[in-house]
Amino acid sequence: MFLNNTELELLKLCAIGRFVPCSIAGKYDLQELRTPLINSFIRKEYIKIVKGDERCYRLTRRGRDLLYNAGYQYPDDSRPRKEGGAFKRRLINSEINVILYGAGIDVYMKSVEGLKDKDRAYIPSLTIRSDTKSKVLAGTQFYGILRIGDTAYVIYYAENEMDYMFPNYENQTFSKLISELTHIRHIVILIVSGTVEGLMRVMFPDTIPSLKYGRVSYAEVMQKWKYEFCMLPMNRDGLLQMRINSVEGMKGQIAGKFGNTIVPPGLSCFDAVKDGKAFMVATDMNITRVSRGLEQTLHTDYIPHIICLPYQRAAYQELAVRKQYPKMMKFTVLNRSKVIDRFPILGGTANNLKPARAANGEYIDVGIERG
- The strand order across the sheet containing 272-274 reads 272-274, 277-281, 303-308, 330-333
Q: What's the whole-number mean pLDDT along residues 297-306?
A: 94
50 band by pLDDT with thresholds 50, 70 and 90: very high
Q: Residue 244: exposed, middle, or buried by beta-carbon count in 10 A (0-12, 13-18, 19+)?
A: buried
Look at residue 8 in the predicted model and tell me its pLDDT.
96
pLDDT tens digits, one per residue of 241-255: 999 999 989 999 999
- Mean pLDDT across the chain: 92
Query: Rounded to the nearest 5°, which phi and psi values hold at 4?
Result: -95, 170
Please report, as a single letter, which amino acid is at residue 86. A
pLDDT at 369 over 60: no
DSSP per position, 229-261: EEEEESSHHHHHHHHHHHSTTHHHHHHHTTSBS
Question: How many CB atoms sit inside 10 A of residue 319's CB?
Answer: 19
In the chain, % of residues over pLDDT 70: 97
Q: Give pTM, 2 decimals.
A: 0.94
Q: Which amino acid is at 269?
A: C
Give the mean pLDDT of 270-290. 97
Beta strand 20-21 with 56-59: parallel, antiparallel or unpaired? antiparallel
Distance (Å, rounded) from C-alpha 77 to C-alpha 130?
Answer: 10
Confidence of residue 80 (pLDDT cuts 50, 70, 90): confident
- Coil vs helix vs strand at 146: strand
> Which pLDDT score, from 0 to 100, does residue 274 have?
96
* CA torsion through residues 14, 20, 26, 28, sign: negative
Of 132 and 285, the one with more pLDDT: 285
Model confidence pLDDT, tens digit, residues 137-171: 778 999 999 999 999 999 999 999 999 999 999 99
Sheet holding 56-59, edge to edge: 20-21, 56-59, 47-50
Of 3.90.1150.10, 1.10.357.10, 1.10.10.10, 3.90.25.10, the CATH number of 1-80 is: 1.10.10.10
What are the residue ranges spanned by the domains of the chain?
Answer: 1-80, 103-234, 250-346
- Cα gap 227→221, rounded to integer Å: 10
Q: What is the dihedral of CA 73, 75, 81, 87, to 10 degrees?
A: -100
